[in-house]
Each structure stands twice: as structure tokens, then as C-alpha cells.
Structure 1
């Protein structure tokens, strides 16, 4: 299929590479891959747990602040109105 469309040429090249001699795989490669994958999973799980803990802590701090400050209430007047008409 030489001289055909560009996609066929690339497919032929890939096919030749896959049919050719394969390089030797280092001993213990699968074991190292499993250990690395397990380590990455533990790291991601730890990061996720830390993020949830931090989000919960921030939410709790917000609730405490809102309960103390009560920002939904109007601010108290700094000057009292005059007492007239008694």
C-alpha cells in the first residue's frame, strides 16, 4: 500500500513496528508498577481526605462566626433618637 493515502502509510508503519522484534521488558517492571500505583492511590486518598477535612473545618468556622456576629441583623443605631413628645 505504498503510495496510497497518508493514513494507510501511517497504519502500515505502525503495523511494521508492532510486528517487529519487541525490546526485552525489565525484570520486576509489573511489581514496580503495582507499588507505584498503590502509592499514588494512597496519596490521592490522603489529599482528598485532607481537602474534605479542611472544607468541614472552614464550614464549622463559618457557622460559629455567623452565630456570633449574626450578619443578617441590622446594625444598631449609633445615635438614639431624641425623646420628644412625652
Structure 2
């Protein structure tokens, strides 16, 4: 099986592989950078919302409780 003729490869196969790998690395780096910025923006938006709305604070009572037993 190994004694048979080997297929002919293009002469610039290594250069094509390097270009393809470099392009994939650039795209991956850009995707990671974009995801990081998006995560930072979501965090800032959440912090601004939490600062304005203060969801941990209880709402003030609309009616005062009755005074009994004076």
C-alpha cells in the first residue's frame, strides 16, 4: 500500500496552510475581543440598572399600620 505512487501535492501547500492558519487566528482573536467588549458592556448596563432601580430595596408602605392598644 505504501509502495504505490504518492499523490501530487501543490507546490505552495505549506504557504496556503500558513495563510489559512493566520486568518483563522485573526478571526478567533477578533471574536474573543468582541465577546469581551460585549460582556463588559452588559456588565456596565447591569450595574447602571441596579444603581438606578435598586431592586434590593423594599418599596415604602402605602398605608400606615393601624395603632391599636393605646
| Same fold, TM-score > 0.5, yes or no | yes
What is the TM-score with the length of structure 2 in the denominator? 0.84
SS at match of 1:26: coil
Structure 2 residue 38 is the aligned partner of structure 1 residue 54: yes
What CA RMSD, in Å, does the superposition of the two structures yield over aligned residues?
1.8
What is the TM-score with the length of structure 1 in the denominator? 0.70
CA distance in 2, matches of 1:55, 1:22: 50
Q: Quick check: which has more Rg, 1 or 2?
A: 1
**Greater relative contact order (Cα < 8 A, sep 6+):** 1
Any gaps of 5 or more consecutive residues in structure 1?
A: 1-15
Deviation for aligned residue 1:21 = 1.6
Residue 54 of structure 2: aligned partner: 70
String of CA shifts for 1:5-55, please: whole Å, max 9, x gaps. xxxxxxxxxxx2x33221111121111110010000000000000001000
In the alignment of these two chains, the number of paired residues is 68
Any gaps of 5 or more consecutive residues in structure 2?
A: none
